[in-house]
Each structure stands twice: as C-alpha cells, then as structure tokens.
Amino acid sequence: MPGMPIFCDPDLEVVHALRAELGGIGVIFTDLGALRDHLAAGFEDDTIVLGAGVTDGEAFAVADYLRLNRPTLGVILVRAEVDTPLLQEALRAGVREVVDRRDLLGLQSAVKRSAQLAVALRAKLPAPAAGNSPLTPGSAPRGRVVTVFSAKGGCGKTTLVTNLAAVLADRGRCQVCIVDLDLAFGDVAIAMQLFPARTIADAVPLNGAIDSAAVAAMLTYHSAGLSAIVAPTEPSTAETIHAPLVSHLLDVLRGDFDYVVIDTPPSFDEPVLAALDVSDLIALIVTPDVPALKNLKITLETLIELSYPPDKFRLVLNRADAKVGISQAEVEKTAQLPLAARIPSSRDVPSTINRGVPIVLDNPKHPVSQAIRRFAEHEVIDPGGRATAIDLHADRKSRPGLLMNWRTRS
C-alpha cells in the first residue's frame, strides 16, 4: 500500500498549502532536524516534497542520504524556477523530480509516480533477515530485456513494442518500461499519446551516475505497471547518447523492472548494439514483401557475424494475412527461422495508435491482440517451449560478405 507523503518547508503556510494541493493528507515538517528524526523511525513513507524554502544544498543532502539508506523513498523538489543546471544537479543528487511551484498538475503527477515506484521497489527488496536493517537492499531478481528490431522502417516495430509491453504489464501486475532507442525519430511518445517532462537525453549530464532515482525522474507514466523512457525531442540530441550510457541505463532498468522492452531504429548503431548485448530476446519483425525479406536476411547475417546467440532470435511476421504472393513458408525459408508469431493486418491498429491506447488494452479479444498475447506468453513470459533456429549457421561461407564497418566482436 502507498504511504503518506511528507512535506517540508520552513514556512508553515507554504507547507500547509503544498499538502492541501495534494489532497490534504500527509505529514508536515518545518524543520529538517525533525524530518531526520522521523526518517530515523523507519516509517514506510513513499515521497518527500521539499518546498522552495529548503535550500538546494539541504535538499540535495537529503536526497543523497536517502538514495543510499532509503532507496524506496523519493524526493520531489518544488522550485519557483526550474532550469537545466538545477535539473542536472538534482538528478545527480538523487532527486526524483523537480517541479515548478505553479505546476499543480505536474506536482500531483510526480507524487503519484513516486508512490508507484516506491511500491515497485519495495516488492523487489527481500524480507530482512533477523538482526539486519530493514533498509539494507539485497540482490533483487533481474528483469528480462526484449529488443524489437528490423532493418527496414515501417514494419510495425513501435506497434509491437507498445502492445507487447502492455501485455507484459498485465494492468499493473508487472512493472514494465519501454525504452525508445530510435533516438532521432522515435515514435513511442506519439503512439502512446505521452507528454514527457524528460527524455533519455536527460541521462547525458549524469556522466554515468545513473541509479534508480535518476531513472524514476526520466520515466513517463502511461498506465498501471507501464512506463516509458522516450526518445529526445530534438533529433540532433541523438549524437550525445552513446553506447556506455545505454548499457548503464539498461542495467539499472532491469534491476527495477520485471521487463524492459526496447524500440529501435532500422540500423545497427552503437546504442542499438549496446541494447542487443544485454537482450534476453531479440524479436525480428518482418512484413511479407521482398524489401523486408532482403533486409531480414542481411540482419540475420549481421547478427551471426557479431556473435549474437541464434537461440535469442524470434521471428515475428506482421501483416501475416496480406495476400501479396509471399507465403509464410517462404518467409521462414528466407530467414531459416521458424515463425514465433503471426500478427494479422487490421485497420483498427492505426485507430488505437491515434488514441494512444494499445490495441491489447482497447480490445483484448481482437485477433491482433490475441496474436501479441500468445507471443508474450509463449516466448517472453514462459520461453520454455521456444522455437529453435532452422540450421541458421548452414552454408555461412557462401553468404554475401558483410560490410566491414560493423563493430568487431570477440
């Protein structure tokens, strides 16, 4: 159950106003010493809202302490003005969100997100052993990472990503995060009708100091159990996001979420390769047309050349019922992989995208929804019956050579 928020500001009138704006429920403090005493008592709180009267230095000290000693307890900073240097310093200190004092809806949303994250983090902390501090985190299970890829645009990657993530979230039963690595032209935010306060670009100033608190500040909430880290709003920002940052971010995410589902651009750039490196499953989506099959063949050759294990590959045929003269058997023969999923065509899919609601939530009984749910259940949630490659390594020497600019792997 979510705990009550805590409000702290040296001005009693301000702290009462903050609490009133958030439903009139919560503990209030006008003194940081009293707040420290309260925290030492070990109450299961979710969020501390620090008013503008708490200095930056004091707020950052509180956040830095809690990041190490109370990782489930988030700090939200309220400020009269919010600028980029403040955001960067706050994220480094472990503040979950910085909110403009005039943004009431933003403050309400931030507190809601903090409470949801606290519940998820507590669920991943083991029960304390006798004699141990209840605040000492143990080793938590690692979430599964699923990357959806196609070397051809327009195959339906984003549609599969958003709907697969919604199925895995199961209306809040699991915690799922989408990461949009199509850094220049990502569509996850548009497809889900999200209005993000932050994007993956906000991780750049952290210089590798990414933890659960920083991740929480970058999340955009969609629905129960489902959040996203969206692509930058400016395409030029993509150049600042490098593979080590992506690797670090995904490492933190898989510690905080049950599943991480990654959308990708139609290219093997360094951030994509970093994602593939840590993926438990690589869903290769294709449509029944010659350009898509040609790109699929090159994709598989490249993945093998880069030493990715073929048992991680899953072939997904989108628009599987299209009558275009290419059969499912021909797709399997070209890929030398069995189909793991067949998703039919439907005009209902773009309709749900326009409304920002994945079709699996809008119409769970729809044939598209059922196909994606079967894929999730058989290949992601319970991969015990996973399909195996059809002689994927056969006759590699006779295949066309790869371009020499692919990354060399050991």
The whole-number pLDDT of residue 322 equals 82
Q: What DSSP state is assigned to residue 240? A: G
104-124 vs 243-256: helix crossing angle, rounded to 10: 70
Which residues face 27 on adjacent strands?
A: 6
Decide which of 404 and 142 is more confident.
142
Q: In the prediction, which pLDDT does 23 show?
A: 83
Distance from C-alpha of 281 to C-alpha of 323, rounded to nearest angstrom: 29
Q: CA separation (Å) from 63 to 46, 225, 307, 404?
A: 13, 25, 42, 47
The residue with greater pLDDT, 400 or 281, is 281
The pTM of the whole model exceeds 0.85: no
pLDDT at position 383 = 66
Strand partners, 178: 228, 261
Q: What is the arithmetic mean of pLDDT over 88-107?
A: 84
d(CA 369, CA 78): 41
Element (H, E) at 176: strand 176-180
What tokens appear for 329 in the block? 């058997």
Counting every residue, how long is the chain?
410
Domains 6-124 and 144-398 share a fold: yes
The domain limits of the chain are: 6-124, 144-398
pLDDT of 265 reads 94
Rounded to an integer, the average pLDDT of 106-117 is 83
Q: What is the CA radius of gyration of the chain?
A: 23
Q: Which CATH number fits domain 144-398: 1.10.10.10, 1.10.150.120, 3.50.50.60, 3.40.50.300?
A: 3.40.50.300
For residue range 187-241, what is the model confidence (pLDDT) as tens digits? 999 999 998 888 999 888 887 778 887 888 888 888 888 999 999 988 888 889 9
d(CA 14, CA 19): 9
Class of domain 6-124: alpha beta
pLDDT tens per residue across span 114-154: 887 777 666 655 444 433 333 333 345 678 999 999 998 88
pLDDT at 1 over 70: no
Tokens (6 digits) for 146: 């699923």
pLDDT at 261: 98
- pLDDT tens readout for residues 275-301: 999 999 999 999 999 999 999 999 999
